[in-house]
Structure 1
Amino acid sequence: MTDRGRAALRQTPDQLTVGPSSMRWKGDRLVIEVNEISGLPVISRVVGTITVTPSAVTDQELLLTDDGAHVWRPFAPVSRIEVDLGKHGQWSGHGYFDANFGTRALEADFDYWTWGRYPTSQGASCFYDATRRDGSELAAGFVFGADGTATEVTPPPKRPMRRSLWTVRRETRGDAGTKPKQVKAMLDAPFYCRAAVETVIDGETTTGVHEALDLNRLRGPWLMPMLAVRVPRRAGWRF
């Protein structure tokens, strides 16, 4: 990831371009063109194409705070994905396309949150749990059909997981008595962890993407300088 200034941004109704990378709608597919340089520990150029084909696009959104300062938008929680990154690999499988929007910094309003998206035989189940700084809690669950329909559900119980390599606390939703587990690491940071996690939902074993975010750590003064190293800023971009 690289932070870039306004000069590196171009936007049309069908395409978003940031520096050398872009995403655009091509018919019913979202085509993402990547041309970036990876960070430590392996620095190399990452060039390729990611194609996301939604089974449907939803009209759902979830307010994460009462005043709407933070919103989760699950555009296409049931999708197929094809990835071609050249020498870095090619693969395909199930995927999703979502986004978070906000008018305030996350650490200004939240202490901790977890999110999980798990494919099921009927589509996908998504769970959003958060502890806000005012002490209130968010506990949301949705079942998405392949046709884009969304049903809000009472989430199954919270189930504890092993902490991440940076000891970030983790938990997700799963049937009572089950033990969710990480099956593949994706990203470990002092305040954030993303991984492929196996859990059981309504008796169905599924592996999906799980995130845990510790905003109390993110607010720490020692961490922001580390982010500047991992996520460099590039000024002076010209098309």
Structure 2
Amino acid sequence: MPAQGPRFDVAVAPNGYAWWYIDATSADGAHGLTIIAFIGSVFSPYYKWSGRGHPENHCAINVALTGPRGSAWAMTERPSRRVDRGADHFAVGPSAMRWDGDTLVIDIDEISAPLPYRVRGSVRVTPEMIGTTAFALDPAGRHRWHPVAPRAHVEVSMTHPGTSWRGDGYFDSNFGDEPLEDGFDDWHWSRAHLKNDVAVLYEGRRRDGTPFELALRFDRQGRWHDVMQPAPAALPRTGWLVKRRTRADAGHAPQVIKTWIDAPFYARTALSTRLFGENTRAVHESLSLGRFRSPVVQSMLPYRMPRALW
């Protein structure tokens, strides 16, 4: 399916969702960043409890920073009256993203939870390439993934916590017409910047029990081609015992450099690995939607992801 740029004006139907995801690692590997902007926040207990009739009324910008000179987390959901979006901009409360055709500028002004502290600063994401294809993750096309910029230059300037750095990054988006947990039981995803290409590996199990997988390489012009999935490789479980698995060249054992996010149903990890004959670092995520559906996990979510009334 053809796609171009982030397209913040995408229509999101009842029960549906949209999100835009950015990750980055500093040049020295010491710092990591992820930012996710949600419409119909897929992990929101409030959206689920509401019946998911109005996705625009459940928006959030999630910020997660890790590093020796400052780590932070914030994700506050806000109602539709605090949302302003169009083709090239998306604002949720005091935080916003804007796309000028060359660079995505992100202004962050959030408060963390459950311990309240300010998370404030700016991030600039300048793509080296623009992906022009969206991919269906299920046969009916109810869940779709668009790699907006598989390789990008990222500049981070945070006042709270006080940290500034530059590094390589990645930018994609996902869209769906039904709740994520209705479509999938789990998935494992990773991206790795190689010398000339970007490798993106997807695999998991749909809710009906069928497996899915996608292995792609993007060149510096944004052109993509399918590749054979590398060999399966085991990773240690997280502190919450979430299963992690990945792919790597046969005979190579990937190593966890740092677990950026360790949640009851989700993990994001920095890896040292070998793919397609190159030693590289990868950003990896494992998602257990079976865990997410648990009433116990649902009861824990509001403490980490509050909802603002203003």
TM-score per shorter chain, which class?
Answer: over 0.9
Structure 1 residues 232 and 202: CA distance shift in structure 2, 3 A: same
Query: Could you tell me which residue of structure 2 aligns to residue 202 of structure 1?
Result: 276
Say which of 103, 117, 125 aligns to 2:199: 125
Check whether the contact 1:78–1:145 (CA below 8 A) recurs between aligned residues. no
Structure 1 stretches lacking a partner, 5+ long: none
Q: How is 1:36-47 mapped onto 2 (pairs within 5 angstroms)?
A: 36-40=110-114, 42-47=115-120
Check whether the contact 2:120–2:160 (CA below 8 A) recurs between aligned residues. no
Say which of 140, 163, 179 aligns to 1:105: 179
Say which of 166, 189, 197 aligns to 1:92: 166
Query: Could you tell me which residue of structure 2 aligns to residue 183 of structure 1?
Result: 257
Query: Could you tell me which residue of structure 1 aligns to residue 39 of structure 2?
Result: none
Query: Could you tell me which residue of structure 2 aligns to residue 73 of structure 1?
Result: 146
Query: Could you tell me which residue of structure 2 aligns to residue 31 of structure 1?
Result: 105
Deviation at residue 108 of structure 1 after TM alignment: 1.1
Aligned-residue CA RMSD (Å) = 1.1
Check whether the contact 2:113–2:306 (CA below 8 A) recurs between aligned residues. no
Deviation at residue 133 of structure 1 after TM alignment: 1.3
Deviation at residue 116 of structure 1 after TM alignment: 0.1
Distance 1:57 1:39 in 2: 34
Deviation at residue 123 of structure 1 after TM alignment: 2.6
Are residues 1:170 and 2:229 paired?
no
Deviation at residue 219 of structure 1 after TM alignment: 0.7
Q: TM-score, normalised by structure 1?
A: 0.95
Distance 1:45 1:21 in 2: 12
Aligned residues: 235
Residue identity (%) = 40
Query: Could you tell me which residue of structure 2 aligns to residue 5 of structure 1?
Result: 79
Query: Could you tell me which residue of structure 1 aligns to residue 305 of structure 2?
Result: 231
User: Structure 1 residue runs of 4+, over 3 Å off?
Assistant: none
Deviation at residue 129 of structure 1 after TM alignment: 0.5
Query: Could you tell me which residue of structure 2 aligns to residue 82 of structure 1?
Result: 155
Higher strand proportion: 1
Check whether the contact 2:265–2:291 (CA below 8 A) recurs between aligned residues. yes
Distance 1:139 1:13 in 2: 30
Distance 2:166 2:193 in 1: 15
Check whether the contact 2:121–2:160 (CA below 8 A) recurs between aligned residues. no
Give the AA of the match of 1:144: F
Deviation at residue 221 of structure 1 after TM alignment: 0.8
Tell me the SS of whatever aligns to 2:131: coil
Deviation at residue 144 of structure 1 after TM alignment: 0.8
Q: How is 1:143-158 mapped onto 2 (pairs within 5 angstroms)?
A: 143-158=217-232
Question: For 1:68-106, what per-residue CA distance to the aligned partner results, in whole angstroms no more than 9, with x for missing partners?
Answer: 111111100111101111242111110011111111111
Check whether the contact 1:168–1:193 (CA below 8 A) recurs between aligned residues. yes
